[in-house]
Amino acid sequence: MRTAWKRGMGWSLLVLCSAGCTTGTLRGEVDIVPSRAQAPEALAALQASRFEEAERLALQALAAEDRNAQAHLVAGLTRYKRAMHQLVSDLIGVGAAYFAQGLNQQYLDFTLAQAEAELLAVDQHLALAARDPDVALELCLACWEVDWNRSGEVDERDRRLGEVELDAQGQELPDGDPRRRPTFRFDVGDAHWARAMLAFQRALLQVVSAYQAPERAALMGSLEGRGQARVVVKLRDPAAVLRARELVLLGLAEAERCRLAYLAERDDDREWVPNPRQRSYALPLPVDEALYQTWAGVLGDLTRLLEGEEGLGVTDVAQLGDHVWRDPPRGYVNVRRMFEAPGDVVLDAGNLERLDRDQTRETAEAVLRDVLGDKYVPEMKASPLPSRLARMKTEVERGEESLEKKLRYLFWLN
């Protein structure tokens, strides 16, 4: 796990798989009293990367006892793996067809609807499992024999995907070192972690389904600097954008449940995400109280933005970039309104050229009004989120922490 960019997608797949999966209503809770039942045969098949067998055995265990939290985790994992494999395959086909001859919108709609239905079922398994405070399973993610890169065989890159590459001092672990392939003990906090990640993935599917892709010729012409500089991505389904907002809020709520569950832990056993008191963890990312406080602050910031209680201050956001504004643009971005009153997305190369030629407040504000419309407002209560990001930027520039480590923490904590 050397860089966030290299490992991000792989770890999200591996961890969400290993933590389990289930669904329910967007904000509701599942009314269930967990049982003490286990699913040892299904878990053993999962640990040996026999996913189809693991799913069959987990479903058998659930048929005998539908409150079996461990069986829900295994069933959710295997269903998630199937769903994501199908989604990736379908999207590769849709993308190839789009750049070759144009978009098959009907096929894309079917693909997204099918993926949403599958991920909803996955989330139901997670929700049921997370009601058991003692639910747990042990998995060595790096030991799975899976063709993650879809090359047609399990190759060296697949085997290295889940490995821990660095120790706590940032030194590379030698090949064959057992610390590269730790066994984690996933518990109820990790089930909430997985539900949060799943909610964000489902929100992304909703946003994609809400829009009509532009004509291939127009997009390619704009990207290559010929034809029209302004490409419009048409909004087809405003309700899907609203559903995305609800899912993001669900994800933020689950991330907070995850954070609180971690803080409440009293054991110290091969943790995926430790709390400040725990010392048994394999990933070289130690935490402290300050990190947990920052985590809580960011979750609160994002929730208030989505609820419309605060807005993104354009002045603060502008100063996060490399260009230092003497007279920065003003105003605020109303994030809630972006979800509640969405519109067409305009990709305008001319706007970027205008800003590049004339980096003045007046030009920047004109571009913001053009791009954001009524989501760009003169007054709102300012969100502290840009200030938190500015602090992170300053720490990186001072060499107190690397950008890579910052990104790894952001991904790791959803």
Dihedral sign, Cα of residue 142, residue 130, residue 291, residue 398: positive
Domains of the chain, residue spans: 4-211+237-301, 315-377
The amino acid at 392: M
Nearest one of 21, 9, 105 to 69, comparing CA atoms: 21
Cα 160 to Cα 181: distance, rounded to the nearest angstrom: 9
CA gap 327, 315 in Å, rounded: 9
Bridge partners of 362?
A: none
User: How far apart are alpha carbons 376 and 317 in whole angstroms?
Assistant: 13
Sequence-ordered alpha helix ranges (H) in 145-187: 156-161
pLDDT at 184: 92
* pLDDT block averages, 10 residues each, the chain of length 414: 38 38 40 75 96 97 95 95 93 90 90 97 95 92 87 86 81 89 93 95 97 76 61 92 98 96 94 92 83 92 98 91 84 97 84 79 89 94 91 70 62 65
Place of tokens 């933005």: 305
Dihedral pair phi/psi, residue 363, rounded to 5°: -65, -45
Give the three-state DSSP class for 172.
strand
The H-or-E segment that residue 212 falls in is: strand 211-212
Query: What is residue 10's predicted lDDT score, i.e. its pLDDT?
Result: 40
- CB count in 10 Å sphere of residue 172: 11
Angstrom distances, CA of residue 26 to CA of 19, 129, 253: 20, 17, 11
CA distance 319 to 311: 16
The amino acid at residue 214 is P
CA distance 405 to 396: 9
* CA-closest candidate to residue 309, choices 383, 390, 235, 395: 383
Q: Which residues contact 200 (CB under 8 A, 6 or more apart)?
A: 247, 248, 251, 414
Nearest CA-CA partner of 195 in 273, 294, 128, 267: 128
